[in-house]
Amino acid sequence: MSFAPVLHSEWLKIRTLRSLPGTLLALFAATTAFSAIAGGSETSDPEFDPLFMALSGVMPGQIAAVSFGATAVSSEFHGGALRLSLAAVPRRGRWFAAKATAIALPVLAVGLVTALAALVAARAGLGDAANGLTSGEQVRGVVGCGIYLTLMALLAAGLTALLRSGAGALSVLIPFVLVVSFVIGDTAGGATDFLPDRAGQVVLYETYDGSLGPWSGLAVTALWTAAALLAGAWSLRRRDA
């Protein structure tokens, strides 16, 4: 079976699994709402970054992206679904590539729309404080935000395939993103610039310090994601369905 029909079948699975469209809706709603709230907050901080403030809703919103990637893969490990999938597509690498693509495309589309909506909502609250943002910086923030959310969803998908458990992947990633990364970041110095979430989030800032820039930071996150996907693919090849 060629790649196109495999991709189509995986897209049908995602579209018809009721929790997944709801997760994308949560991604949009949470990111936009938190960015709008941040846009209306006090901006007297001397380290205030208007682009990051406008896109700061990504911090809670990324949990929905991670959940989307984990749930899309973990659904295969219930009720013998993976055996049926691999019976239809015996080439496991092709099947997993189609699964990853079916995860990436909707997250990227929703992520771009979400980032644009968050930016518009926050700018309405920031007023003159956001006037210094150039068009290029805003485009970079929106595009980078969409890519970052996609990479985090795929990171979760790869980890779920490796662990064969969505709950296991979420129990690793969500505490890491919400707690561990910030705690380590306050104590370990520049080494934390290369953590997957912190590296990718550089693209959300108007100005940035450290060894990584916006696109090199996303490249680091992409390397983490590629490693997770390769590990997940290895697990699928080596273990029984």
Q: How many CB atoms lie within 10 A of CB 87?
A: 10
CB 198 within 8 A of CB 210: no
The confidence score (pLDDT) of residue 157 equals 96
Q: Which residues of 214-241 are buried (b: 16+ CB within 10 A; e: fewer)?
A: beebbebbbebbeebbeebbebbeeeee
pLDDT of residue 188: 55
| DSSP at 89 | -
Enter the tokens of residue 190.
């520049």
Locate tokens 């380290």: which residue? 47
Per-residue three-class SS string for 40-54: CCCCCCCCCCHHHHH
Q: 73 near 97, Cβ under 8 Å?
A: no
Q: Smallest Cα–Cα separation from 43: which of 27, 51, 83? A: 51
pLDDT score, position 44 = 55
The whole-number pLDDT of residue 80 equals: 73
What string of DSSP letters covers 86-124? HHH---HHHHHHHHHHHHHHHHHHHHHHHHHHHHHHHHH
- pTM equals 0.93
Q: For the chain (length 241 residues), average pLDDT per consecutive 10?
A: 85 89 95 89 69 92 95 86 80 91 96 96 83 90 97 97 90 83 64 86 88 93 97 84 53
Locate the DSSP E strands across the chain. Answer: none
> Which among 36, 126, 28, 23 is positioned nearest to 66, based on CA atoms?
23
**pLDDT score at 202:** 93
Measure the CA–CA gap between 224 and 241, rounded to whole angstroms: 25
